[in-house]
């Protein structure tokens, strides 16, 4: 049986005197898709940033893939992430942006980048700079960046933003295939249909408190 890939124990996060995450315990089983729902300001994005190592916790511990984030590792070792608006070099094409990122890690070949762009519905030969992309195209490129190195963990905050109905269906299918490959996925979405189709378990955030809900 698969164990837990993410383990949070008594995690708190404060900004000044405001406690944005109240002490919470939360585990995500390896190879499953967990959904996080809640209103804006409920703590979803802060929780995801703490899991990814982008924000230090005020109290408690975050363990991902068996390693303590902020102590044994700065970031999860095998992570693909979309949190807020994906950042790219605006004067370069989407392909060139991915090539630069790939060259930093040395894990991908040029044909791999072609394949991932096709998977997310973007033309690998498109020369248009990212500054001219629509919101939906930027989102597709962000998803390509998140999945291109075949990470064990995907942390996706509103990955369907800016996508039309056809795009949403394509990216849902992509994520279901990632799930079939045994990936662990943490997903936040305002769309109940996304949550229903994709998630094994669903948790609601409300004023920094988390509880499991039925889909």
- Token pair for 135: 């919101």
DSSP assignment string, 34-63: EEEE--TTSSHHHHHHHHHTSS--SEEEEE
Domain boundaries 1-78+151-215, corresponding CATH code: 3.40.50.300
- Tens-place pLDDT, residues 56-107: 999 999 999 999 999 999 999 999 999 977 789 999 999 999 999 888 877 7
- At residue 2 the predicted structure's pLDDT band, cuts being 50, 70 and 90, is low
pLDDT > 60? residue 1: no
**Total Cβ atoms within 10 A of residue 80:** 23
CATH 3.40.50.300-classified regions of the chain? 1-78+151-215
Supply the DSSP symbol for 195: H
How many Å separate Cα 160 from the centre of its chain?
11
| Mean pLDDT, residues 172-176 taken together | 95
Kindly give the interhelix angle for 110-119 and 94-105, rounded to the nearest 10 degrees: 130
């Amino acid at each position: 049986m698969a164990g837990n890939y993410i383990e949070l124990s008594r995690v708190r996060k404060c900004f000044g005197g405001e406690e944005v995450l109240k002490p919470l315990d939360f585990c995500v089983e390896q190879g499953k898709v967990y959904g996080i729902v809640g209103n804006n300001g409920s703590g979803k994005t802060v929780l995801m940033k703490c899991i990814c190592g982008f924000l230090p916790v005020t109290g408690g511990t975050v363990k991902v893939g068996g390693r303590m984030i902020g102590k044994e590792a700065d970031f999860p070792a095998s992570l693909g992430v979309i949190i807020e608006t994906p950042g790219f070099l605006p004067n370069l094409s989407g392909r060139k942006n991915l090539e630069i990122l790939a060259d930093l890690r040395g894990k991908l070949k040029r044909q791999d980048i072609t394949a991932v762009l096709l998977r997310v519905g973007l033309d690998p030969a498109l020369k248009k700079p990212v500054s001219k992309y629509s919101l939906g195209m930027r989102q597709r490129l962000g998803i390509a960046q998140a999945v291109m190195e075949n990470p064990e963990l995907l942390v996706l905050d509103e990955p369907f933003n800016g996508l039309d109905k056809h795009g949403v269906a394509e990216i849902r299918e992509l994520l279901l295939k990632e799930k079939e490959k045994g990936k662990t996925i943490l997903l936040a979405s305002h769309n109940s249909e996304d949550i229903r189709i994709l998630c094994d378990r669903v948790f609601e955030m409300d004023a920094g408190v988390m509880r499991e809900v039925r889909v």
